[in-house]
Amino acid sequence: MDKKGTTPVYKIFCDESCHLEHDGADIMVLGGIRCTTEKATALNKHIKWLRHQHNYHTELKWTKLVAKQIDFYKALIDLLFDDEDIWFKATVVQHKERLEHNAYNEGSHNLFYYKMFYYTLRDFLQPGNEYKIYLDYMDTMGGEKAKKLCDVLKTESREGLKVDIYIIQSYESQMIQLCDLIIGAVSYKNRSDIGHTSKIKCQVIDYLEQKVGHALNYGTPPWERNFNIFRFAPSVEGR
């Protein structure tokens, strides 16, 4: 409990990139941003203010960056790093084409997906707190996937975990859009199957790496909280 004697409530905003089994990408990235409910409200207001300041009124998506808005993207990245109460974590699955689902995941890419989301979220979760996890709407199977992930988190985590998962549209959430920006940068940097020819994307990555202090295609120590990257290679699958 916090100083007021109430159960802390945290929100986790999640996004994913190249997560489908046969999408041609050689990696998969899952990630999330965690903060308190109060912090999420403040960040939402701040992002809306930044949008007004930079005249940016469309949905923020990594796939649709605008070159002249580099200062807006930098301001969003500053939000993430200038506040110690905000945690970001991404899981980068390398060499996705080498995954042996028949040997380790009952032949199911979806099962592997849930495993990786569990590893992505588990460090955010502590018994005694309450968590509300928000996933971007992807398809009509979203409700079923959310229930499955919720069950996995409750089963694999320690006793007493309070967690609910919600499916929302990305345009409804400033925080999911922020997560999309960061996940997109991590994914773009780690992909070896594409040419890195987008000037604006490389500018965003360069600025993000300056803030992090290292390249986005390197893992971080497990205790790193503000910006954590967990790299998973198929060779260690099943351990």
pLDDT tens, residue by residue, 136-156: 876 545 677 777 777 777 776
> What pLDDT, in 10s, does the model give residues 177-234?
999 999 999 999 998 888 889 999 999 999 999 999 999 999 998 888 889 999 987 7
* pLDDT score at 238: 43
Domains of the chain: 9-236 (3.30.420.10)
Residue 202 amino acid letter: C
Strand partners, 227: 88
State the pairing for strand pair 28-36/9-17: antiparallel
Q: Is residue 59 a contact partner of residue 173, using CB atoms and an 8 Å limit?
A: no
Predicted confidence band at 4 (pLDDT cuts at 50, 70, 90)? low
Q: How far apart are CA 128 and CA 91, in angstroms?
A: 25
Predicted confidence band at 160 (pLDDT cuts at 50, 70, 90)? low
Residue 7 amino acid letter: T
Top pLDDT among 82 and 70 is at 70
For the CA atoms of the chain, what is the radius of gyration? Answer: 17
Mean pLDDT of 104-115: 74
Residue 1 amino acid letter: M
Predicted confidence band at 239 (pLDDT cuts at 50, 70, 90)? very low
3-state secondary structure (DSSP) of residue 56: coil
Specify the residue for token string 């309070």. 162
* pLDDT score at 107: 66
Q: How far is CA 66 from CA 5, 16, 44, 72, in A?
A: 46, 21, 21, 10
* pLDDT score at 237: 42
Strand partners, 11: 35, 132
* pLDDT score at 198: 95
Query: φ and ψ at 166, to 5 degrees?
Result: -125, 145
Top pLDDT among 62 and 156 is at 62
Count of beta carbons in the 10 Å neighbourhood of residue 188: 22
Residue 109 exposure: Cα atoms within 13 Å on the Cβ side: 12
* pLDDT score at 210: 96
